[in-house]
Each structure stands twice: as C-alpha cells, then as structure tokens.
Amino acid sequence: MNAEAPIPFPQTQRVPDEVSFDRRELGLILRLYGRMVAAGEWRDYAIAAMRDLAVFAVFRRTAETPLYRIEKRPKLRNRQGLYAVVGMDGRVLRRGHDLDQVLKVLERRMIGPV
C-alpha cells in the first residue's frame, strides 16, 4: 500500500478590503498631532480608509481643506515608498519607507526653517 503525504491547500494572500493605518503608525501620527495641537497649529483631523490608500488629514479649522495629508499607499511600497506627506496644494513634500522619517518634514515646519 502506497501512503502519500497529504497535499496542503495553497497559501493565498488575503487582499484587504481597505488600507488602514496600524496601531504603531497611528501612534506616530497622533503623537505629532498632539504636539501640533498644543502649539496651536492644528485643530482637527479626519481619517479615511479606502481600497488603495489610507489618509490622515489635518486641518487648521474644520470647514477648510486639509493643511496636510499623510498617506499610506501599499502599491508604492517597492517604488518611492509606502508613506507620503502631501501639502495643501497637492505637492508631495516627502515620501519614503519609514513613517517616522517622513513625518519629520512636518516637525521641521513647526519649528520653522533651520
């Protein structure tokens, strides 16, 4: 009798329904947000989770357009970088693979030009 080893089911990667920030990422973003609120620079925020990107938008006033958008785009992970900070005018201020380094562009704006 020939006993064969069972064949496992193929591993498939689950495609998430939407992209979102994880706990560590939100911790970094909210730490910066808290400092900016304390400094009187920012007043409100909004979070959006979509199919291809997650956005944390910061506002000076609620009814305005966002001052900055912190974006997470998994499709750019192997290219320019997973994270980006986008200004009010739509320009990418900084892009990279490390969220902490990308957020430093906003910290520099808080203390002014160096």
Name the phi and psi angles at 71, rounded to 5: -115, 145
Residue range of the domain that includes 58: 23-111
pLDDT at 112 over 60: no
Whether residue 6 lies inside any domain: the answer is no
More confident residue, 61 or 66: 66
Report pLDDT digits (tens) over 21-64. Answer: 999 999 999 999 999 999 988 999 999 999 999 999 999 876 67
Whether residue 34 lies inside any domain: the answer is yes
Question: What pLDDT does residue 114 have?
Answer: 42
More confident residue, 33 or 8: 33
Whether residue 86 lies inside any domain: the answer is yes
Tell me how many domains the chain contains. Answer: 1
Distance from C-alpha of 94 to C-alpha of 35, rounded to nearest angstrom: 20
